[in-house]
Amino acid sequence: MSMTTTPSHSSPLTRIAAPEGVAPSPHYSHVVLGTGRFVAVSGQCALDERGEVVGEGDPAAQARQVFENLRRCLAAAGAAFDDVVKLTYFVTDVAHLPAVREARDAVIPADRLPASSAVQVSALFRPELLVEIEAFAVVPQ
């Protein structure tokens, strides 16, 4: 079992990349646990502060905007990407996942990857949107 503990503010999160009998993944941790205050961030899409789509037709630009929106939402709750324990990706095409991972890797170090799920959906709430991501975090009390 591969396990790392990384400090998140003053409360550590434990990431278990490969529980016994489960194949490891370079793209996420299978299990993340910690104690503290739970923060849920609704699915964020590539909308700017005026509600306009950023990067229409460009999954990389949309993913970058989504992670910026997640950063802002986490900050509003006193959290940061180090506190994220779970990300759920909704993409209109699984071919967008490399762009999403690249945007994620720009803000979350490889040794602090959260648990993750990725789901291909037929559409998001606006046809020009390609990516939506929700986040769960745990911050110190």
Residue 21 lies in a domain: no
Q: Which residues pair with 34 in a beta bridge?
A: 13
Return phi, psi of residue 42, to 5°. -55, 160
Residue 10 lies in a domain: no
pLDDT confidence of residue 1: 64
pLDDT confidence of residue 3: 63
- For every one of its 141 residues, what pLDDT tens digit does the chain have, with 9 covering 90 and above? 666 655 545 458 999 998 999 999 999 999 999 999 999 999 999 999 999 999 999 999 999 999 999 999 999 999 999 999 999 999 999 999 999 999 999 999 999 999 999 999 999 999 999 999 999 999 988
Rounded CA gap, 137 and 84, in Å? 4
Residue 24 lies in a domain: no
Chain position carrying tokens 């849920």: 40
Cα–Cα separations (whole angstroms), residue 8 to 13, 72, 79: 6, 17, 9
Rounded CA gap, 141 and 119, in Å? 32
Q: By C-alpha distance, which of 71, 46, 65 is closest to 125?
A: 46
pLDDT confidence of residue 8: 47
Q: In b/e form, how buried is each residue of 16-40, taking b as 16+ CB within 10 angstroms?
A: bbeeeeeeeeeebbbebebebeebe
pLDDT confidence of residue 134: 98
Work out how many domains the chain is built from and give that number. Answer: 1
Residue 56 lies in a domain: yes
E strands present in the chain: 2-8, 11-18, 31-34, 37-44, 84-91, 115-120, 131-139
Residue 54 lies in a domain: yes
CATH of the domain at 127: 3.30.1330.40
